[in-house]
Amino acid sequence: MTLLTEAPTALRSPADSLRCRNCGAQFPLGPVHACADCFGPLEVGYDADLLGRVDRASIEAGPRSLWRYAGLLPVGQQPADRVTLDPGGTPLVRADRLAAELGMRSLWVKDDSANPTHSFKDRVVSVALTAARQLGFSRVACASTGNLANSVAAHAARAGLDSVVFVPADLEPAKIVQTAVYGGTLVAVEGSYDDVNRLCSQLAETDEFERTAFVNVNVRPYYAEGSKTLGYEVAEQLGWRLPEQVVIPVASGSLLTKVDKAFGELGKVGLVESSPWKVFGAQSSGCAPISAAYALGRDVVEPVRPTGVAKSLNIGNPADGPYALDAVRRTGGAIADAGDDEIREGIELLARTTGIFAETAGGVVVATLRKLLAAGALDPAAETVILNTGDGLKTLDAVAGRQAPTVTIKPTLRGAREAGLLD
């Protein structure tokens, strides 16, 4: 065995095709996202032998970012190829006090707010922009509910790429500022995310945007693969094994389907011993089309008009809805949803018991976890990982009115005494 014969394979992407998730048709890798036969969504397919060449040692010797899993990703095999703020490597926190409060035996929080732009979206963006550059695009763009906007603008700034980011005009102020500050073009659209997304699909077809990679439109198959790294990381951090249950916030449903895909791949390539896992979805009641379909036992997801505080999850017409339903049903999980006040209480409960201040999506997960436990859908005795996908500082308004100093005093001992601090 010499390095000379190994090098070419080692640097080859394990991806070999785009496959239609609807009809199974295969297409060459490229900037396309819809099946030419049935218009179904395309997903990256892999050569099983090439995927199988990764092992624990080679991953553990890699960078402390999601790029340690490059051997399981379609792009970025060589460091020079990567567009990256080095996301990933976020803490998996043992949540014993939260577990005790909920009557659970073993609970972990995967805290993906600890990414460079403070949400899990850095994972999908790093992979999508790497793909965009490898595919020869000169500009990057996205339709966003907020966190994607932050991450695309930041990654573009780091790589020196032009960016055009489209968001609903009523986005949280923090997410507007955290996008605009990176200096790209930020377009506020007077409409819902679904309106923004439709507009981007139309723009992507125009001559003016021909050289533009829309991360969640024409390079979506690559974007989606970035979410797998959250699943890989959880397994590695547990000592190369799968959790029995995982609770995942759901907007388009992409993250949920990709964590499920990641767990499956890990077993297939022998990085973990195969063991059963259950995938649970968490939605905001103000935008719960997948949860509603689940409750009614339907396969078809009826679009809704989103409302509610969890704006990062407000996708009323979720592209991966049917596939999320499939992953949940196939693994024996469930999907439920929580209302705005429950979401606020979820944020506070998580903060008070773990020291993690989550954005509204994290509150959705904690609140939905409670409901799933109460309904008997989730086993309190089985090891469970919940995902916090964003930082509370991004959505301060959601809880600002409920939080204040315990007491305000004069800077004197008398002031302290009068406030009861010396009793």
By beta-carbon proximity to Zn ion, the closer residue of 27 and 240 is 27
Q: Which does 22 bind (CB under 5 to 8 A by kind): Zn ion, ligand PLP, none?
A: Zn ion
Residue 21 or 158: which CB sits closer to Zn ion?
21
Q: Residues 156-195: x/- map of binding to ligand PLP (CB under 6 A)?
A: ----------------------------------------
CB closer to ligand PLP out of 249 and 306 = 249
Which single residue is written with the structure tokens 């993690």? 356
Nearer to ligand PLP, 16 or 232 (CB): 232
Residues shown for the chain? 423
- Assigned token pair, 6: 């190994």
Give which of Zn ion, ligand PLP, none residue 392 binds (C-beta under 5 to 8 Å, depending on kind). Answer: none
Cα distance between residue 186 and residue 166, in whole Å = 6
- Rounded least distance, CB 405 to ligand PLP, Å: 28
Q: Which stretch binds ligand PLP (CB under 6 A): 128-136, 253-261, 349-357, 372-380?
A: 253-261
Q: Which stretch binds ligand PLP (CB under 6 A): 68-76, 129-137, 251-259, 378-386?
A: 251-259
Least distance (Å) from ligand PLP to the CB of residue 61?
A: 30
Q: Which of 14, 41, 76, 253 binds ligand PLP (CB under 6 A)?
A: 253
Which residues within the stretch 285-314 sit at the binding site for ligand PLP (CB under 6 A)?
312
Choose among ligand PLP, Zn ion, none what residue 37 binds, the Cβ cut-off being 5 to 8 Å by kind.
Zn ion
Stretch that binds ligand PLP, among 46-54, 191-199, 248-256, 338-346 (CB under 6 A): 248-256
Structure tokens given for 40: 């179904």
* Helix/strand/coil for 337: strand
Out of 152, 246, 251, 327, the only residue in the binding site for ligand PLP (CB under 6 A) is: 251
If phi over 0 gives left and psi between -120 and 50 gives alpha, with beta otherwise, what is residue 276?
A: beta
Identify whether the C-beta of residue 170 lies closer than 8 Å to the C-beta of residue 193.
Answer: no
Interface stretch with Zn ion, choices 15-23, 72-80, 102-110, 121-129 (CB under 5 A)? 15-23
HSE on the CB side for 261, CA within 13 Å? 21
User: Of Zn ion, ligand PLP, none, which one does residue 250 interact with (CB within 5 to 8 Å by kind)?
Assistant: ligand PLP
Q: In angstroms, how far apart are the furthest CA atoms of the chain?
A: 78
Give the neighbor-by-neighbor strand order of the sheet with 212-214: 185-189, 162-168, 139-143, 212-214
CB of 61 to Zn ion, least distance (A): 39
Cβ-contact 313, 283 below 8 angstroms: yes
Residue 266 CB, nearest distance to Zn ion (Å)? 27
Establish if 119 lies at the interface with ligand PLP (CB under 6 A).
Answer: yes
Count of residues engaged in binding ligand PLP, rule: CB under 6 A: 15
According to DSSP, residue 23 is labeled T
Which is nearest to 223 in space by CA: 122, 145, 85, 154? 122
- Footprint of Zn ion on 22-51 (CB under 5 A): 22-23, 25, 35, 37-38, 40
By C-alpha distance, which of 294, 296, 318 is closest to 306? 318
Two structure tokens written together for 229: 């790294």
Stretch that binds ligand PLP, among 89-97, 228-236, 250-258, 408-416 (CB under 6 A): 250-258
Q: What is the identity of the amino acid at 193?
A: Y
Measured from the CB atom, the residue of 77 and 150 that comes closer to ligand PLP is 150
What amino acid is encoded at 416 in this protein? A
What burial class does residue 267 get, using C-beta atoms within 10 Å of its C-beta: 0-12 exposed, 13-18 middle, 19+ buried? middle
- Give residue 350's region: left, alpha or beta (phi > 0; psi -120 to 50): alpha
Question: How many beta carbons lie within 10 A of that of residue 7, not counting itself?
Answer: 10
**Out of 250, 282, 367, 372, the residue judged to bind ligand PLP by CB under 6 A:** 250
Least distance from C-beta 297 to ligand PLP, angstroms? 21
Q: Choose among ligand PLP, Zn ion, none what residue 147 binds, the Cβ cut-off being 5 to 8 Å by kind.
A: ligand PLP
The label of the residue with tokens 């239609």 reads 20
Beta bridge partners of 414: none
Asked if 363 contacts 310 with a C-beta cutoff of 8 angstroms, the reply is: yes
Site for ligand PLP, rule CB under 6 A: 119, 121, 147, 249-255, 312, 359, 361, 389-390
